[in-house]
Chains A and B, each alone.
Chain A
Amino acid sequence: MSTTAEHDHAHEDGTTHVGARTKAPAELRALALEAELIERGLVSTDAIDTVVEFFQNEVGPRNGARLVARAWVEPEFRGRLLADASAAARELDISGMEGDHMIAVENTDTVHNLVVCTLCSCYPWPVLGVPPVWYKSAPYRARAVREPRGLLAEFGLDVPADVEVRVWDSSAELRYLVVPRRPAGTDQLSEDELAALVTRNGMIGVAPV
């Protein structure tokens, strides 16, 4: 926990990254209200964290899942997504301050993609929501580069030896989104049903879908 906190702090000192911006008045006002409600005993940090975590896992990645599902069912859209993910996202009315330079990388029979931000926690917010805590952790950031297969195995993903693992380092300028492989046996599913199969972890590259 302290590692994450220290890391976040270090990151928020002095880079040009969007996450390093000075907190805007709107954000400060929200933080002040949260602090006041905690002090009054109306809410607890733990309870808020639990709900935020749920949103991180379930709500944020919906936009990314829509992109992936559309790419699965519409080859022309897939082409546009892989050519310019930010433009393709705008076709689905998805845009946002951290999504302007987004690149989609596609998993295939021979390539598995994994996304990390080795410097801090650059992440395509508009399509994946708020990054999970482990994405920002020092061990994830280091191991994704040093031993990605071992890391993936810990996430329960054994990548066959004949499949190349490509690790993409997100930055403030370029943020990556993994397009997982469409699962077998899903030919009959609608686009919405397909989107429901796509997980945040799949779009980071630490899960198959």
Chain B
Amino acid sequence: MTAASSERDHGGQGPLDQPLPDVEIPFDAPWHARIFATAVVACQQLGLPWDAFRDQLKEAVAADPQRPYYESVTEALEQLTAH
């Protein structure tokens, strides 16, 4: 999935100008989509590749494998934006 497949025009400045990362775990609740989207936008604004977030997420999952996935997403985003 890439932003190009969205067929929408966001005027050249929007968050969809870059390819969006694939969602690995489907959303079960609106806040799952929201925190994931927040991570996407934050990475773009910080000029970080998505892999920077994914590495942080891997760490968060490894630190607490029993934690629900999207709680690890929140944890990872907290860590990534801590400074």
Binding site for B on A (CB under 8 A): 26-27, 29-31, 33-34, 37, 40, 42-44, 47-48, 50-52, 54-60, 62-63, 96-98, 125-126, 129-130
Q: How many residues of B contact A (CB 8 A)?
A: 35
Q: Which of B6, B38, B73 contacts A48 (CB 8 A)?
A: B38
Least Cβ–Cβ distance between A41 and chain B, in angstroms: 9
**Which of chain A's residues have a CB closer than 8 A to the CB of B35?**
30, 33-34
- Give the docked Cα–Cα distance between A59 and B41 (Å): 17
B15 in contact with A50 (CB, 8 Å): yes
- Give the docked Cα–Cα distance between A16 and B46 (Å): 41
Give the secondary structure class of B's interface: helix
Q: Mark B50-83, 1 if CB is under 8 A from A, else 0.
A: 0000000000000000001011011001100100
Give the secondary structure class of A's interface: helix
Q: Which of A33, A55, A57 contacts B74 (CB 8 A)?
A: A33
Known: A50-B16, A51-B15, A54-B3. A33 touches B38 (CB 8 A): yes
A129 in contact with B6 (CB, 8 Å): no
**Which residues of B in the span 6-35 have a Cβ within 8 Å of any Cβ on A?**
6, 10, 14-16, 20, 23, 26-31, 33-35
